[in-house]
Structures are given as structure tokens and as C-alpha cells.
Chain A
């Protein structure tokens, strides 16, 4: 029985090695394709999809409405544009009449008369619309009473955040006594501090790693765990550590390297880290079956 088991085990192990060997000629160094944007960040401005249009009498810009009121149409850019008294409201899909209301949250494509700067047509849609003009092309038509002046809060000489996705690579060095089969996780405040929020991959005996996409400017706190808060990381001094902090910068790839010195449930004086079930003192340091 034991020889058969050993043979089966050897066959599976050999197959695994063959699969691994087959990968040796795979492309190396490829950075994983970034995933979609993080869920909790503001989406990028709609003007980002704009394409330049040759000079003409009409300019079409698509966005999302804040309000249409007192002869003005407001977009989520915060700009108010004058609505031509004879402006038409149409269905963006076919140019015909529409049952949609020009109200908050509705997607709209505004057609500007380049000479007057007024909106002469408003095409409505329940879904995002492609824009034909850039925001810069229509910003000059915005009506505002006061003279704009710089906001010291928005000091452009300092670094801002472009909101672009950044591949963040977390690598953590774990205590040498961490068991080979243990799983290590990232717990973050944005995942409600779930102790198993992001599972990491073991890359060698001392390191785990995981990559995730976050938008630049994302700021969050995190801790490493082994799947529960009783097994969360502790500092060199044995005390609970404050949550680590991450600010995602305007980079293509941001690497984060941390060291975990102790786990909360580790017992330096027991050779096992298996079952965290406390047991009373037993003089026999072995796990033995019952005697005959």
C-alpha cells in the first residue's frame, strides 16, 4: 500500500516538474496587465475621451448634467453654459424627440454655436456619450460672474494625482519560523479590515507578494495577517503594530516592501504553529495514538 502511494505521489510530483520545466521558455519580466480601476475612487473626467475636431461652426461636447435652470445648463465639470432660447432637446440615439428629462445625472451632448458660445442643442441619453470636443475647447463658453483666481489649496507646483491606475506590488518578509503551508493576507481599512481581504502568494521561504491596481492618490491603511486578527503581525517588540499607511503615487509601478517580525499567535516555545487551540500542560511533547 505504501509503495503504491509513493509511486502515485512520485508521478504527480514528476508531472508538476514537467509543467514547471515547460514554462522555462515563457516570456520573463512581463508586468501583469493592469486591472480595472479601483472601485472606490472617483471615475476619470469624461473629457478624457474627447477627440479634437476641426474648426467649424458647431462644437459638440458630451458630459453629465448637474442642472438645467434659468436658461443655463450645468455640467458636472461645474460649468454653466447659456442655453439658446430656441435650443432643442433631442434623443442622442436618433436625433428625434425624447422622453428623457434634462435633469441631474442625465448624460447629454451639448452643441455649441461657436460664434455665440450658446448651447443650441441638447441631446440626452441614459448612458455615457462619446465627446467630439475637448473640455478646453468649450471651457471658454462657461458663464461666470466673478473673475476666477487661483486657489492656494491647488498649488500646481506641488505634486498632484492624475488618478491613473498604478500597479502596486507588496512584498513582505515573514519570520523564518512561518510554516511552509501558511497563507498570508493583507487586511485594509477599505475592505473593512477583513483579515483575509487580499491573499498573497509565496515567492520563497521568507517572502510573500501580491500585486494590485490602485489609482494614484489612493490612500489607505493595511496590516499583514495569517488569516485572523489573532494571527496578525506584531512588531519586533512583540506589541501590536499601528496600521501601515500607503499613498499611491503617479507611477507605472509602485513597490512596497515590509518586514513582519512576529505573528500574534506564534508560540516561540512550542515547535508547532498548527492548531491554535490551547491545551493544558501535558508532559508528553508528542502526538501519539492510544496504547494497546
Chain B
């Protein structure tokens, strides 16, 4: 049986030197009954356990919120003026009057840092009901959802014209505040668009007519016209967008600032740099063009589109649009009922020039349905892998199967995994500072082909004792036992420089119809010393991971004694001669978190590993434009420095790099810096 790569990560190495006899006579049927009983007991236990949301004790760091929420709904954002905020105005029904408003002016500027639109010169605002306001200056805070028109103001509403100094509209509350100039100035308030009956002299919020101070702020876009859909979007036409060095004209720019998080769902693969440009959309849709860069594709374009509501989203993309190796992505979510949700993802990777007939096309489809129960949940997951979506080609050179040339080889195979899992809530163990969580699963894995067309090797999922397994059933039970953060050494001076301890034990057994089972035990112990509760913390963690793959009498058939070689250097690792399918990973990690002030964070992480079988340094791989060492097992030593610096109140720069202490003779620094621009 070839030891095919399982995953690109490094967490599967462990050692059970003496643990082979326990499962040799395991009986699948009895184990099935046991798994079901285990799950049933877990259901019962969790049903009778008090709601863990109420019973999880507060951590040493958990301090209750100081004050309860007010009884009346407040303003959505602060009114920074000296007066109290309106407190009892629930959001009124938004009618046509409060629908999209149109603004034209000599110059409209959008300040993306502040989400503020300002317009100057011949300002004209037309609201949804036809109300027209003209003036010198317009200002709107998109997040406060209110606007102001001031200077030489004229209001035309309901067939009547008024002159005044300023007009402010609080859209969330459907209140308009007006400073008319009659024989003398006055203060009027219009409620719910009733311009015929102004409330004369009614007190106004203190900051009603404030203009934001935008000095020092850079303009992201200029335009002549803006159509603003409150709390949703703005379309600027024609738009000039700030690209740093210059403003580039566009026919229009569409800004989506909806609070619906479903607009943030992303179906694109990672990239080193990404510049999105929303160019079309509305309350439920958004179309975005992306200018991207990564190491493999260099500069390229991509396209993504969102269709969303509060309970669903569909996101699809083509990435890259302008390179032959394309990904077609689809991501869909639906909250079917309050306790059931479904997620579907599909990704096709195709090599094609433009949108012509692909020379290769592979795909992965994943479906997941989750049903929340009273104290647990059920999840049905399906993964379908399509090694090729194209028809089998005629044999070509040397009998190979390919499209175009042999570099686009055709691969048969359609593996499919289906898993039904049950996961219980975290429940306290009596009054102890312990929690337990149970889980179980039942799955099936299937491969269409016993022998892959055009290949001499078997296509079955597994070959054992001369038997090809096209279908492998599996079932698993597991539990997790963990502590809360326990204070083991209290600061005698009461300055909270305490020492905390946490522990977690996770154990699982998984049986397969191809006769073997896998035991996994992960034990984690950690200590935290708060050297300075606000600035400096030292964390130490020890993790022991044991994985045993038990084949009983067929152990040596599954794991024959053989050496392994480094795919990079060709070095032979004879210690693998002793590997029989039982491995141990022992990891000792330390982390120093230093936050001298809110603008600077320095994190130094160190990790030492002792593994059996011993780790082997792997080649550099690139995923999402980021290169990394694809090792077999953990590197024995790793140090990572992460520095986070806040440039200003909206921009944080985070940079990190790791050192591997010459692992394998060639791994020193990680292939690249990791950097992020955060808000």
C-alpha cells in the first residue's frame, strides 16, 4: 500500500510502539452498536445537562459588562453634541420618501476612511418623494445615515418653497430639521415627511447641523452625481477614483456598505494583493471586478458576484479571468429554517485559453446540511471529487490519455465521501471546572473505479491483502474533556499577575470496513503567566498527539518495513524501518505577548517538536500565492516573530516571519514574510 500524502499539514505523526494487540479481533457489528449507544448516551446526558450557556463559569479574564442595556432603543450612533440623544424612536417604516436620494453638485467627494460624502457648489438633492433641496454644501455620514444641506438653501416640498440656512434629515428616524429664514430665523421640525405641519420651535439634537472636520483626510472618489440608497449603497457617476498616484476616471463607481455580512462572503482563492472594484449592484446584489497579483499568475483580473438576503447568499466567481488556469467557484448558503442550514460549494479548475474547450478540468463539490438539536447538532457532509470532468480521450503518444499534449493528462476517478456526524454541546461535569463534549459519526467513502482507465495501478480506495476496496464504511466516537482557566498561583499583591492552567484531552476511535481502526489521543496542557496583565503575558503549552492505525495480523502488510527518502535532498531516513503505523508528536510551545501600548504588539513564538517517525523537510509549495515549506511532520524547531504596528486610527500593519533553524539543511527563514493590512 503506497503511503500517499494525506494532507499538506503536519499533524499526523505519532508512535505506539507496543500498542498493536488491542484491536486485532475487533468486531465491526459490535462496534457499530457501541457507537450508536455511545451517541445515544451522549444525547441523553446532554439533554439532562443544564444549558452550558448558563453554566460555563466566567474565566479569570471574564468581567461582566458593567451596565445593562438601556430599556429604550437609542440612536444607532452617538450624537456627540451636548444634548441627550433621542431615545424612544424606533426605526420607522421606510417609505418612498426615505428611499434612494439623488445628489448632484459641481463636485462630490467620497471620504472612504470616514464613510462621508461631501458635495460643494450648486448642490441639488432630490429625495424619494420628490422633495428638492438646493444649497451650497451637502454632507452625509453614510453610517449615521443622516445628511445636511446648508448655505443659500431652498427647500421645495409639497408644492411650497422655503428659504433657509440649513436642512438636516435623520433618515433612521424620519425627522427633518430645518432653519428657515422668514422675517427672522426659526427652527422647524418635520416628522414623517409632513411638510404642511412643521413643529415650530421644537428642540433639536445638539449636533444636528454639525459638519465633519475632514482636514487631513484623503478623497477616495470624486463625482458629479451620487445616488444614495440609505444603509445600502451609493452609485457615483462619473467617478474618478484615487489610485494613490493619480485619479483614474470611470463611468461609474458602485459602493456597497450594507450591514449584511453576507456581502462579505468570498469565493475567490487567496492572492498576494487584491484590488476590488464594485461596479454594479443593489440591495441584494453586487458585481465586483478584481485586479489581483500572486506569484504564480502575476497580474490578472477576476470577477465575483453576490446575490444575498438576510438568510441566504449565492456567491460565484471566475478567478483568474485572464489566465488559462481558471477557477470557477460557487458558494451558496441558505438558512432553511431557524434550526437548519445548508451550504454548498463547488470549485472547478480548468486549463483553457479564454473560454474555449478546456484541456483539463477537475472539480470538487461539497455539500453540508446542519440541523440544530436541543443540546447537540447533526451534520451531513458530502465531498465529491471529480478528477476530470472531460470525457475519456483516445490514447495518444505511448498510449497516454491526454488533451492537447501529455502535460494535460486525463485522470479518471470520482471519489466521494459522505459523513453523518453528531456533536454534543459542551457540558459541565457536575460542579467541577471541567467540561465534556461527545461526538460520533458514520460515513462512507466510495471510488467509482476499481481499476482506473489507462492506468496500471488500482483505482480503488485501498488494497489490503489482495482485496481492492472501492467502498469503505467508517464510524467514529470521540470525546473531549477540558478544563476552564484555573488559577494555580495567585499574585500575593493582588495585581492579577496570576498563573493560569488549562488542560484538554481529546480521544477518538474510528473503525473502517477495510479491517483496521485508528485511535487518536490529543493531550494539551498549558500555563499562562500574566507578567503584566495589560502588557505582557507568557504562555507555555505542551501537546502530545498519539495516532495508532491498528491492522492486527495485517499490520506488517499495511506498514511494511521500508526506508523513506527526502523528496528534496534524496536523503534516506532509516528510522522509518521501525514505523508500524503508530506515531507520536510531542510539541512544546512558548509564546511571549508584549503590548507596550495599544499601537504596538510584539509576539514571539517558539516551538520544539519531538516526533516519531522523524520529520522530513519538504519542498516549497504555493497556495493562494503564498509559498511555504510542505514538510512531512513538524520541523523540530521553529521561532516566529510577529509585530503589529498601528499607523493611525484606521490602519494596522502586521508582519511576521518564522525561522526553522536549518531544518533539513535548507530550511532557515520561511519563504516569505506574512503581512496584513488590518483595520
How far apart are the CA atoms of A149 and B654 in the complex, in Å? 53
The A-contacting residues of B in range 52-100, CB under 8 angstroms, are 52-53, 56, 58-59, 61-67, 69-70, 72, 74-89
Residue interface mask B194-223, A partner, CB < 8 A = 1: 000000111111111111110100000000
Q: Of B2, B485, B616, which one neighbours A205 at CB under 8 angstroms?
A: B485
How far apart are the CA atoms of A283 and B591 in the complex, in Å? 35
CB-defined A-B contacts under 8 Å, sample of 19: A5-B637, A42-B210, A143-B185, A148-B202, A149-B202, A151-B189, A153-B88, A153-B173, A181-B640, A187-B264, A204-B539, A206-B484, A223-B261, A237-B339, A251-B66, A272-B9, A283-B472, A285-B520, A289-B616
Q: A146-B200, A202-B591, A238-B377 are in contact. Are A269 and B208 (CB under 8 A)?
A: no
Closest CB-CB distance, B475 to chain A, in whole Å? 10
Q: Is A32 an interface residue (CB 8 A)?
A: yes
Does B185 contact A155, Cβ atoms closer than 8 Å? no
Does B185 contact A1, Cβ atoms closer than 8 Å? no
Nearest 4 A/B pairs, CB to CB: A217-B78, A274-B9, A160-B84, A163-B80
Does A269 contact B79, Cβ atoms closer than 8 Å? no
Q: A27-B532, A189-B261, A278-B364 are in contact. Are A155 and B184 (CB under 8 A)?
A: no
Q: A36-B649, A104-B150, A275-B7 are in contact. Are A163 and B2 (CB under 8 A)?
A: no
The A-contacting residues of B in range 144-202, CB under 8 angstroms, are 144, 150-153, 165-166, 173, 175, 177, 179, 181-189, 200-202
Q: Of B2, B75, B183, B532, which one neighbours A217 at CB under 8 angstroms?
A: B75
Does A257 contact B62, Cβ atoms closer than 8 Å? yes
Does A145 contact B644, Cβ atoms closer than 8 Å? no
Q: Is A147 an interface residue (CB 8 A)?
A: yes
Q: Of A35, A64, A104, A187, which one neighbours B261 at CB under 8 angstroms?
A: A187
Query: Which residues of A have CB within 8 Å of B528?
Result: 203-205
Query: Which residues of B have CB within 8 Å of A278?
Result: 364, 366, 383, 385
Q: Of A26, A39, A215, A236, which one neighbours B113 at CB under 8 angstroms?
A: A39
Listed stretches B36-44, B388-396, B402-410, B507-515; interface member: B507-515
Query: Which residues of B have CB within 8 Å of A131?
Result: none
Query: Which residues of B have CB within 8 Å of A66?
Result: 150-151, 165-166, 179, 209
Nearest A residue (CB) for B423: A268
Q: Is B47 an interface residue (CB 8 A)?
A: no
Q: Of A9, A40, A161, A219, which one neighbours B606 at CB under 8 angstroms?
A: A9
Query: Which residues of A have CB within 8 Å of B581?
Result: 286
How far apart are the CA atoms of A45 and B82 in the complex, in Å? 7
How far apart are the CA atoms of A254 and B68 in the complex, in Å? 11
Query: Which residues of B have CB within 8 Å of A72?
Result: 165, 181, 184-185
Query: Which residues of A have CB within 8 Å of B587?
Result: 180
Q: A149-B202, A154-B84, A289-B632 are in contact. Are A144 and B592 (CB under 8 A)?
A: no
Q: Is B639 an interface residue (CB 8 A)?
A: yes
Q: Is A88 an interface residue (CB 8 A)?
A: no
Residue interface mask B470-489, A partner, CB < 8 A = 1: 00100010101010110000
The winner among A31, A37, A161, A199 for most chain B CB atoms within 10 A is: A161
Does B63 contact A255, Cβ atoms closer than 8 Å? yes
Listed stretches A54-62, A90-98, A109-117, A169-177; interface member: A169-177
Nearest B residue (CB) for A75: B209
Residue interface mask B493-537, A partner, CB < 8 A = 1: 001110010101010101010101010101010101111111111
The winner among A13, A223, A268 for most chain B CB atoms within 10 A is: A268
Q: A42-B212, A77-B209 are in contact. Are A285 and B549 (CB under 8 A)?
A: yes
Query: Which residues of B have CB within 8 Å of A85?
Result: none
Q: A42-B144, A69-B181, A145-B185 are in contact. Are A198 and B74 (CB under 8 A)?
A: no
Does B204 contact A151, Cβ atoms closer than 8 Å? yes
How far apart are the CA atoms of A41 and B445 in the complex, in Å? 55
Q: Is B137 an interface residue (CB 8 A)?
A: yes
Does B508 contact A13, Cβ atoms closer than 8 Å? no
Q: A67-B152, A154-B86, A199-B652 are in contact. Are A271 and B364 (CB under 8 A)?
A: no
Does B78 contact A209, Cβ atoms closer than 8 Å? no
Nearest B residue (CB) for A261: B426
Closest CB-CB distance, A122 to chain B, in whole Å? 15
Query: Which residues of A have CB within 8 Å of B650?
Result: 39
Q: Is B468 an interface residue (CB 8 A)?
A: no
Does A128 contact B78, Cβ atoms closer than 8 Å? no
Q: Of B62, B84, B153, B564, which one neighbours A156 at CB under 8 angstroms?
A: B84
Query: Which residues of A have CB within 8 Å of B335?
Result: 239-240
Q: Of B66, B166, B590, which one neighbours A74 at CB under 8 angstroms?
A: B166
Q: A13-B606, A16-B590, A76-B209 are in contact. Are A32 and B74 (CB under 8 A)?
A: no
Does B606 contact A215, Cβ atoms closer than 8 Å? no
The A-contacting residues of B in range 450-479, CB under 8 angstroms, are 461-462, 472, 476, 478
Q: Of A20, A135, A151, A198, which one neighbours B203 at CB under 8 angstroms?
A: A151
Interface size class of B (residues with CB under 8 A): 35 or more
Does A275 contact B425, Cβ atoms closer than 8 Å? no
Closest CB-CB distance, B277 to chain A, in whole Å? 14
Q: Is B676 an interface residue (CB 8 A)?
A: yes
Query: Which residues of B have CB within 8 Å of A41?
Result: 77-78, 80, 144
Query: Which residues of B have CB within 8 Å of A47?
Result: 82
Query: Which residues of B have CB within 8 Å of A216?
Result: 78
Closest CB-CB distance, A263 to chain B, in whole Å? 13
Nearest A residue (CB) for B519: A285
The B-contacting residues of A in range 218-268, CB under 8 angstroms, are 218-219, 221, 223, 228-229, 235-240, 243, 247-249, 251, 253-257, 259, 261-262, 268
Q: Is B398 an interface residue (CB 8 A)?
A: no
Query: Which residues of A have CB within 8 Å of B203?
Result: 148-151, 154
Closest CB-CB distance, B495 to chain A, in whole Å? 4
Nearest A residue (CB) for B443: A269
Query: Which residues of A have CB within 8 Å of B261?
Result: 187, 189, 193, 221, 223, 243
Nearest B residue (CB) for A77: B209
Does A291 contact B3, Cβ atoms closer than 8 Å? yes
Q: A45-B82, A80-B185 are in contact. List 18 more A-B contacts (CB 8 A).
A: A30-B532, A40-B144, A42-B141, A42-B212, A67-B136, A158-B88, A171-B61, A173-B62, A176-B502, A194-B679, A204-B528, A236-B52, A247-B69, A261-B425, A268-B478, A291-B3, A291-B565, A292-B562
Closest CB-CB distance, B12 to chain A, in whole Å? 4
Does A143 contact B510, Cβ atoms closer than 8 Å? no
Q: Count chain A residues whose beta carbon lies closer than 8 angstroms to a beta carbon of B.
A: 153
How far apart are the CA atoms of A257 and B57 in the complex, in Å? 12
Does B136 contact A103, Cβ atoms closer than 8 Å? yes
Q: Is B320 an interface residue (CB 8 A)?
A: no
Does B545 contact A74, Cβ atoms closer than 8 Å? no
Q: A80-B179, A205-B524 are in contact. Are A33 and B62 (CB under 8 A)?
A: no
How far apart are the CA atoms of A275 and B12 in the complex, in Å? 12
Does A171 contact B423, Cβ atoms closer than 8 Å? no
Residue interface mask B10-35, A partner, CB < 8 A = 1: 11111000000000000000000000
Query: Which residues of B have CB within 8 Å of A51?
Result: none
Does B83 contact A287, Cβ atoms closer than 8 Å? no
How far apart are the CA atoms of A141 and B148 in the complex, in Å? 24
How far apart are the CA atoms of A212 and B372 in the complex, in Å? 34
Closest CB-CB distance, A276 to chain B, in whole Å? 9
Q: A67-B151, A187-B261 are in contact. Are A177 and B179 (CB under 8 A)?
A: no
How far apart are the CA atoms of A20 and B202 in the complex, in Å? 61
Does A69 contact B1, Cβ atoms closer than 8 Å? no
How far apart are the CA atoms of A154 and B581 in the complex, in Å? 72
Nearest B residue (CB) for A73: B165
Nearest A residue (CB) for B599: A35
Closest CB-CB distance, B538 to chain A, in whole Å? 5
Q: A171-B62, A199-B652, A285-B6 are in contact. Are A272 and B12 (CB under 8 A)?
A: yes
How far apart are the CA atoms of A8 and B663 in the complex, in Å? 12
How far apart are the CA atoms of A9 and B660 in the complex, in Å? 9
Nearest B residue (CB) for A270: B7
Q: Is B4 an interface residue (CB 8 A)?
A: yes
Does B502 contact A5, Cβ atoms closer than 8 Å? no
Does A16 contact B166, Cβ atoms closer than 8 Å? no
Does B82 contact A204, Cβ atoms closer than 8 Å? no
Q: A161-B79, A281-B461, A287-B7 are in contact. Are A191 and B263 (CB under 8 A)?
A: no
